[in-house]
A = this chain, B = another copy of it.
Amino acid sequence: MKAEILCVGTEILLGDIVNTNAQFISKGLADLGIEVYHQSVVGDNPKRLLDELENGFKRSDIIITTGGLGPTPDDLTKETGAKFFNRELILDKNSLDDLKDHFSKMGRSYSKGNNIKQAYFPKESTIFPNPHGTAPGCAIEEKGKTLIILPGPPKEAAPMFTNYVIPLLEKYSSGIIKSKVLRICGIGEGTMAEMASDIINNNTNPTVAPYAKEEDTILRITAEASTENEALNLIKPVEIELRKKFGVNIYGEDDIKMEEVLGKMLIDKNYTISSAESCTGGLIAAKLINYPGISEVFKEGAVTYSNEAKINRLGVKKSTLDKYGAVSYETAKEMAEGIAKTSNTDIGISTTGIAGPDGGSPEKPVGLVYMGLYINGKTQVKKFQYFGSRDTIRRRAAMSALDWIRREIINI
């Protein structure tokens, strides 16, 4: 069973709004095991809309539209759907009552000329009430083709999809599609794909696909089966293989965040932590504090951007800054030790680097970051090189810092 999504709206084509309808409908169909083959967006134009319906039903069995159900004369999705299936539009008494009721509650009278249009539907269609607005939706099923027509505003389309469309489409669901995501930090997409290439190539159900995300990379394992249990059983052995190959590089599953993984580890082991940030400027602290309950172990974060603060707050030696510079192995080391000491914590993490866009040199280019990690009574320093905007460099560096702490805790 193949489906596609057809969104109608000049606002989307003008780039004034992001098309979130396509996303949640796609997600819902995937969960039903109905493959989404295509998404498209057209303006409020009946000719183009009809072309899309004709092309779409050549490729797919189900088309779900959103938008074009408003009261104005250029809202023509139902009219075009009726034309495609060669049906007339019929006034629906219940929808008209709802409409009158809706307007009287707002203390207005419904405009006969315009709004009454919203109570007309293609003959013999299934009508979906809309408690969140004035435009009900509908479905036409004929000769193996199903057209589902939903309103445009996500606040109206989403509950209608969940409450009426999913139950209607369940009969078409042959099985389910289940995904599991393994999250990896510190390995690029290309290298990851190469490392996993045999597993990727040798599997068709489940499939394994690598993706680069903003701060990490992921491997998505996707199985098709007739039940959830069966899908999970298909995923399991492939997951085990991948875990064997990537080991500690995998920091978590699905939508978990690095700070949740690390936050939980710190709390479980009762390791206290503090941070001294220069180039990351508070992002490590901000990430950690994203984890509720972190206050038990996160004692203090210092954002020591100036040399003055590095000296006064962390006890970095002026001679170190003079001799090696703020962005150096030595400064990173003294920062990590300084924050752990003054905050009296088990772990101290530091960053100092050049986030750009200016301030780089051939020896110390933009994106160079030194990190210090005081843990288990010892201090280590690592040198990283990042690429991208100031923001990207800072966010990736903060992510690496958390990942490094995670790896060290596992090694203890």
Contact = CB atoms under 8 A, between A and B. Distances in A.
A159 B48 CA distance: 32
Interface in A300-338: 300-306, 308-309, 313
A55 interface: yes
Interface residues of A, number: 107
Given A111-B194, A190-B115, A22 B36 contact: no
Contact of A30 (B15, B210, B282, B299): B15
Interface stretch (A77-85, A227-235, A238-246, A382-390): A382-390
Contact of A106 (B299, B385, B392): B385
Interface in A27-81: 27-30, 36-43, 48, 55, 70-72, 74
A293 B255 CA distance: 35
Nearest to A358: B292
A283 interface: yes
Contacts of A40: 38-41
A209 interface: yes
Given A212-B70, A299-B306, A388 B131 contact: yes
Contacts of A132: 387-389, 392
Q: Is the interface of A mostly helix, strand, loop or mixed?
A: mixed
Which of A26, A190, A288, A367 has the most C-beta atoms of chain B within 10 angstroms of its own C-beta? A190
Given A286-B281, A387-B131, A14 B41 contact: no
A27 to B, nearest CB: 3
A153 interface: yes
Contacts of A387: 102, 105-106, 131-133
A113 interface: yes
Contacts of A385: 105-107
A19 B23 contact: yes
Interface stretch (A5-13, A89-97, A142-150, A162-170): A5-13
A224 to B, nearest CB: 12
A295 interface: yes
Contact of A306 (B191, B277, B295, B303): B295
Interface centre among A131, A189, A394 (most CB of B within 10 A): A189
Given A282-B283, A306-B298, A25 B15 contact: yes
A284 interface: yes
Contacts of A111: 190-191, 194
A302 B300 contact: yes
B153 A214 contact: yes
A188 B280 CA distance: 31
A134 interface: yes
A113 B299 CA distance: 47
Interface of A: 10-20, 22-30, 36-43, 48, 55, 70-72, 74, 102, 105-108, 110-111, 113-115, 131-134, 153, 155, 159, 177, 179, 188-191, 193-194, 200, 209-212, 214, 275, 277, 280-286, 288-290, 292, 294-295, 298-306, 308-309, 313, 343, 356-359, 365, 367, 385, 387-392, 394
| 7 nearest A-B pairs in the assembled complex, by CB-CB distance | A15-B27, A281-B289, A301-B303, A282-B282, A15-B26, A282-B285, A282-B286
